[in-house]
Structure 1
């Protein structure tokens, strides 16, 4: 991968931004969206953090309330997306590569690859999980339903231990999997309530890179990639959690690439937090890769209080580190810009069918 220097100095730190040569030209993809940047992401506010989940008694949830929460105050650039995040993926999808990069120290001059996985290889500081707890791993209770569990090799059931199988890379339609770090909440306590086989996500600034395709399985199953605050999956992803609903988006969700049932050939991006909701929407779409592999990068950057999502021509997944100048190069690529400021009225209510189902 080659890079070229931008002629202008960046205002932050006075360093040169390096523009990579793996940027997709909008003209080459028939007018669909190639890059989008959310600005003014962070803020000051609160969300309802889950502090306890009461199990209830079989056969019905007798606890009232069963979901115990307390307001958590947050503030600062990128908040609450500077907290630990996980990536969730839903099929039909074929996964080829995943990598996560984070600043190596407080200066953020270098971003190191902290987690990675390649099709057919063992993951590095990355564990595949799903919402099937209560059998081979994890737990189930009457009020909370299934906890997280370790995923088996074909993403269809739970496994007894993390990454016990070699992953097939084919994520079937309707099946979901999420990725976490190799550090469990049992090893190091997690923020908020955690149960079952709960684990940590990636905090602070981070860059997620996915190589994948989304072939049609002959049905109306819509694939998606989205990022959630790790606390959501550690409690109950489809029940008692801090995500929030509608305009009050809680502890943070970023839809990176979500195909909608209304148009299975397109994907959109949206962002939600306690500040509200806004995003690319139906009129500005990613082209669904039904017959070829694509690479997408999502950079969540504390320093610039921004999130950038871009389609790339390629990515060298063997790279163990990238410089801040390269990160700045991606952040300054011409993009559709969405201001996630204090007035977020684009949509007051999140579509009820957008990856929201109840398991109990």
Structure 2
């Protein structure tokens, strides 16, 4: 199975997300209602570093996507009783054209939900957003810490029994957990985008729209060293393949792909992925063929605007000869990259980030709407660059925009 088809199949089961709004939280144009913006949570998280769980210091790595966003449209689900169904209509499926005029990080400026797939062990999860526009302070709006796992703040977990048992930070191989805000989304008649009425006790929530910075302290050991497995053996295409994905909230709230979705402009041609699409932020690929590589992440985003990024390394990224200090791999040479990779819609990064299997790393995902930039970073807890020291490891309740700018312009390993 090739990588793109595998990624699309992945989306069929994982779920995706979407947004709405008249104006983005950053003051830029936005064509749908973005939903409620989470308020700040009280207090920062503080450092959560156990020396016994840290591996030797590594150099870190960044991949920077510039000039992201494009005008266009994708199908958004509507109530069949009210419509409009101007994009697609069949067998109770009503899809309306959600037209996007801006190129400011569209559609990733919209309502997004995070999906985590194991094997993975998370110690901290934090989300920051601008208090006003992006030039002012950024607030911690959602957080979770393994030192108080039963007390998430501004977060909702769904999948892998987290709704009943809560999230304990451990996600077994092939298990999936969706992470969203705690703000209720009112499904039912007339909801926009439409999601069917929920049964008693069931809850659907918004994602995060506008500019946002996700920070996760996690490790991704090989399958077998963590419990909670959601598989019956090693034959599946997701076995031992952790993934961090961003999807539009519309699909996540739908629960799974069915016969009516925003992922493709024609639901029965889901394999095209030409609708609201998906962002595979950090994905280990296991296709049980030449694309398989358990040691590195691929990174790509796709939807109505086309495909941006690169697929898996496969045999091109041989990490066996690399020292443990290398977090960013030059795909052309299978050596440590000399400097952080930069990509655009017309140029792939030419580099891949390395999966941390024996120690923790900070995973950073910055979606900066005004600058049309997506910044991905992996940082060793004992090698935090001074420029982002106001963020890591303390994860404060608030930080200045200058710190976010330092994250955006970070280029690691050099």
Under a length normalisation based on structure 1, what TM-score does the superposition of the two structures give?
0.69
Are 1:226 and 2:245 matched, yes or no? yes
Structure 2 matches for 1:256-295, cutoff 5 A?
A: 256-261=281-286, 262-281=292-311, 282=313, 283=331, 284-295=351-362
In the aligned structure 2, how far is the partner of 1:29 from the partner of 1:190? 48
Identify, as 1 or 2, the structure richer in helix: 2
Are 1:180 and 2:199 matched, yes or no? no
Are 1:243 and 2:263 matched, yes or no? yes
In the aligned structure 2, how far is the partner of 1:230 from the partner of 1:166? 21
Contact 2:137 2:399 (C-alpha < 8 Å) held by counterparts:
yes
Which residue number in structure 2 is paired with residue 73 of structure 1? 99
The alpha-carbon deviation at position 236 of structure 1 amounts to: 3.9
Which residue number in structure 2 is paired with residue 8 of structure 1? none
In the aligned structure 2, how far is the partner of 1:86 from the partner of 1:317? 24
Contact 2:187 2:194 (C-alpha < 8 Å) held by counterparts:
no
In the aligned structure 1, how far is the partner of 2:255 from the partner of 2:167? 25
Contact 1:80 1:252 (C-alpha < 8 Å) held by counterparts:
no
SS at match of 1:285: strand
SS at match of 2:78: strand
CA RMSD of aligned residues (A): 2.7
Are 1:320 and 2:397 matched, yes or no? yes
Contact 1:185 1:194 (C-alpha < 8 Å) held by counterparts:
no
Q: Deviations over 1:66-108 (max 9, x none)?
A: 4321111012201111111110001111111100000001353
In the aligned structure 1, how far is the partner of 2:191 from the partner of 2:124? 27
Label 1:207 to 1:90 Cα distance change in 2 as closer, same or farther (>3 A).
same
Contact 2:117 2:243 (C-alpha < 8 Å) held by counterparts:
yes
Contact 1:252 1:272 (C-alpha < 8 Å) held by counterparts:
yes
Which residue number in structure 2 is paired with residue 113 of structure 1? 140
Find 2:119's aligned residue among 81, 88, 92. 92
Which residue number in structure 2 is paired with residue 202 of structure 1? 208
The alpha-carbon deviation at position 43 of structure 1 amounts to: 1.5
Label 1:256 to 1:292 Cα distance change in 2 as closer, same or farther (>3 A).
same
Contact 2:134 2:401 (C-alpha < 8 Å) held by counterparts:
no
Q: Deviations over 1:108-160 (max 9, x none)?
A: 31111100000142100001012xxxxxxxxxxxxxxxxxxxx63xx4xx52x
SS at match of 1:292: coil
Contact 2:128 2:214 (C-alpha < 8 Å) held by counterparts:
yes
In the aligned structure 2, how far is the partner of 1:309 from the partner of 1:237? 27
Which residue number in structure 2 is paired with residue 193 of structure 1? 194
Size of the aligned set, in residue pairs, is 270
Label 1:118 to 1:71 Cα distance change in 2 as closer, same or farther (>3 A).
same
Find 2:157's aligned residue among 118, 124, 128. 128
Q: Which blocks of at least 5 consecutive residues in structure 2 are unaligned?
A: 1-56, 82-88, 225-233, 265-269, 287-291, 314-330, 332-350, 382-391
- Between 1:231-240 and 1:324-333, the stretch displaced more is 231-240
Label 1:97 to 1:50 Cα distance change in 2 as closer, same or farther (>3 A).
same
In the aligned structure 2, how far is the partner of 1:234 from the partner of 1:247? 21
SS at match of 2:247: strand
Contact 2:180 2:207 (C-alpha < 8 Å) held by counterparts:
yes
Which residue number in structure 2 is paired with residue 299 of structure 1? 366
Under a length normalisation based on structure 2, what TM-score does the superposition of the two structures give?
0.60
Structure 2 matches for 1:52-71, cutoff 5 A?
A: 52=79, 65-71=91-97
The alpha-carbon deviation at position 166 of structure 1 amounts to: 4.7
Identify, as 1 or 2, the structure richer in strand: 1
Find 1:213's aligned residue among 207, 219, 224. 219
The alpha-carbon deviation at position 184 of structure 1 amounts to: 0.7
The alpha-carbon deviation at position 52 of structure 1 amounts to: 4.0
